[in-house]
Amino acid sequence: MNNEELYNLLISGLEHKLHLLEDKPEENIESSLKALWLMASGRPKSSEMAAKLPLPELTGGQKNILLDLIKQRLDNTPLAYITGRQNFMDIELLCDRRALIPRKETEILGQKALHLSFEIAKEKQRVNIIDVCCGAGNLGLAIASHNSNAYVNATDLSQEAVELAQENISFLNLNQRVNAQQGDLLSAFETEEYLEKIDMIVCNPPYISSSNVSKMDTEISTHEPVLAFDGGAMGINLISRLIREAPKYLTKSGWLIFEVGTGQGPFISRLCERSQLYKQIEPVSDDLGKIRVISAQRK
């Protein structure tokens, strides 16, 4: 059986069996199979990257590997954890169970933060950024990859996530401008080196209410780290702390920018206003008009 015949046979077999999630729109039957195919050939790629590449010929042994990888995927193992790759804002990242899989929806936050970093860079040669709840490091690394003036300090409560972020820093050769360290929210930066010296704090916090965690799709809840999405009773525990604690690290015109869950935007915007710590609060909506990002400039 040649490549084309095998590919078509597998596509038809997956058509009604493959479980696809709405929050991973880049994963469809074709891109998923291509990513698994390339993984079997020894060329790990994200589904987004795999979709653009031709398929290599597989040996008999590699075809057996492919069938095993497909079985893992049909057993609801996330694709990015099988391939070890995920694409975020056009950069390929290492990905595994130590951190949440970067989502396309978080690129709304990433693009807004990148735009702000370019605006800040018009006045400064060095843009100092803290990436809180960094996970795999995707936000800070994407900003640093696209803006050579950006210098990022990433942090996460999970030591495992920090280790993955450090591996991604090396993977992307950004060791000169990005580092990662373990800490609870901003605790790793309570020194004069950082206080009132940060131009932007960016964060993709856990914002799912604890009661809804068990209702999440099992592909997420049984494989991805709960710490990365459980936001407490109302889903805003960490966000509330962040709003209060960020200003002491920000420069006088510095920005706090973070992701929020669908439906949380208006309430959290009011939290920012009531804190009286910010002079400019700007919500950013998705294509459906839902607020998904809030940026707030320190007074």
Q: What is residue 228's predicted lDDT score, i.e. its pLDDT?
A: 66
Q: What is the pLDDT of residues 138-176, one digit of tens each?
A: 999 999 999 999 999 999 999 999 999 999 999 999 999
Q: How far apart are CA 153 and CA 168, in angstroms?
A: 14
Q: What is the pLDDT of residues 109-147, one digit of tens each?
A: 999 999 999 999 999 999 999 999 999 999 999 999 999
Work out the average pLDDT over 235-253.
Answer: 92
Residue 199 confidence (pLDDT) above 90: yes
Domain residue spans of the chain: 3-83, 104-298
Q: What is residue 208's predicted lDDT score, i.e. its pLDDT?
A: 75
pTM of the model: 0.93
Q: How confident is the model at residue 218 (pLDDT cuts 50, 70, 90)?
A: confident
Taking alpha carbons only, the member of 77, 38, 31, 73 closest to residue 58 is 38
Q: What is the pLDDT of residues 273-286, one digit of tens each?
A: 999 999 999 999 99
Radius of gyration of the chain (CA): 20
Residues 238 and 133 sit within 8 Å (Cβ to Cβ): yes
Q: How far apart are CA 187 and CA 117, in angstroms?
A: 23
Q: What is residue 230's predicted lDDT score, i.e. its pLDDT?
A: 67
Q: How confident is the model at residue 108 (pLDDT cuts 50, 70, 90)?
A: very high
Q: What is residue 48's predicted lDDT score, i.e. its pLDDT?
A: 97
Q: What is the pLDDT of residues 14-33, one digit of tens each?
A: 988 998 988 899 999 999 99
SS3 letters for the chain? Answer: CCHHHHHHHHHHHHCCCCCCCCCCCCCCHHHHHHHHHHHHCCCCCCHHHHCCCCCCCCCHHHHHHHHHHHHHHHCCCCHHHHHCEEEECCEEEECCCCCCCCCHHHHHHHHHHHHHHHHHHCCCCCEEEEEECCCCCHHHHHHHHHCCCEEEEEEECCHHHHHHHHHHHHHCCCCCCEEEEECCCCHHHCCCCCCCCEEEEEECCCCECHHHHCCCCHHHHCCCCHHHCECCCCCCHHHHHHHHHHHHCEEEEEEEEEECCCCCHHHHHHHHHHHCCEEEEEEEECCCCCEEEEEEEEC
Burial of 269 (0-12, 13-18, 19+ CB in 10 A): middle
231 versus 234: which is more confidently predicted? 231
Q: What is residue 225's predicted lDDT score, i.e. its pLDDT?
A: 80
On average, the pLDDT of the chain sits at 93
Taking alpha carbons only, the member of 203, 140, 199, 204 closest to residue 172 is 140
Q: How many CB atoms lie within 10 A of CB 195?
A: 12
Work out the average pLDDT over 174-180.
Answer: 98
Work out the average pLDDT over 52-69.
Answer: 95
Work out the average pLDDT over 225-246.
Answer: 79
Q: What is residue 233's predicted lDDT score, i.e. its pLDDT?
A: 59
Task: Give CATH for domain 104-298.
Answer: 3.40.50.150
Q: What is residue 41's predicted lDDT score, i.e. its pLDDT?
A: 97
Residue 66 confidence (pLDDT) above 80: yes
Q: What is residue 231's predicted lDDT score, i.e. its pLDDT?
A: 66
